[in-house]
Each structure stands twice: as C-alpha cells, then as structure tokens.
Amino acid sequence: MLAYYTFESRAGLVKRKEVLPTEYELLWIHLPRIEDLAALQERLPFKVKLPRKLKAPSIHAAPDYSMFTVAVVRREKDHGYVLKHFSCITSSKVLVTFGEPLSEVEG
C-alpha cells in the first residue's frame, strides 16, 4: 500500500491521508496550468491511456492552498498506464479535478 498526504496548505499540513494499492502510482507534477487532458499527456514522462468514461472535471474555488498538481495512474500489463485521478490548483487558486475521487480509485 502507498500512503501519502494529499497537499499542504499555507497554515501547515492538511491532515488528510490517502492509501492506494501498490499497482497505483502517485505522480507530483508541477505545472503552471492545465488546459485539458491532452496538455497533461504532453507533459508526462510516459504515455498514459485516458479512460473512455473519465468523469467530467469538477472545478471550484480553492482556499489558500499552495499550488500543486497530483495525478494517480494505474499500471496495466498490456496498456501501460491509465489515468485514474488528476487534481491541480491553478495559479488563480481554482481547484480542478478529473476522474475518480481518490477514495474510489481502488475500484
């Protein structure tokens, strides 16, 4: 199992811990902004297959969090990596999330 803290705020570490099974990998990618999933794909160091049924992005205002980007991918034998979850806080403090919630990513 891979355990990690999701992100830090200016006031200190947010006490939210996520646990992922070992076939998932957590990627910290520092980008100034994300236009769409195609832009994400271009910046990854390897190719990631995007699921057909990827949920629409949820976008909402974010509080004073430090800028961060996180992506969770699943390694598959025949298809390389599949993007399961992607979150970033943009420079305008907007939280953008694609895919499955981290609590459901095991399925």
Give the contacts of 105 (CB within 8 A, at least 6 positions apart): 20, 24, 72, 84, 85, 99
**Reported pTM:** 0.39
Nearest alpha-carbon partner for 4 in 18, 24, 21? 18
Amino acid identity for residue 8 in this structure: E
DSSP three-state, residue 28: strand
Total domain count for the chain?
1
Report the alpha-carbon distance of residue 104 to residue 99 in Å, rounded.
10
Residue % of the chain over a pLDDT of 90? 0
Q: What is the pLDDT of residue 84?
A: 67
Q: What is the mean pLDDT of residues 63-76?
A: 56
How high does pLDDT run on average in the chain?
52
Q: How confident is the model at residue 101 (pLDDT cuts 50, 70, 90)?
A: low
- DSSP strand pairing (24-28 vs 80-89): unpaired
Q: How confident is the model at residue 68 (pLDDT cuts 50, 70, 90)?
A: low
pLDDT tens digits, 28-50 = 444 444 445 556 566 555 555 55
DSSP three-state, residue 80: strand
User: What range does the domain containing 70 cover?
Assistant: 2-104
Q: How many CB atoms lie within 10 A of CB 44?
A: 14
Q: Which two tokens stand for residue 62?
A: 């974010």
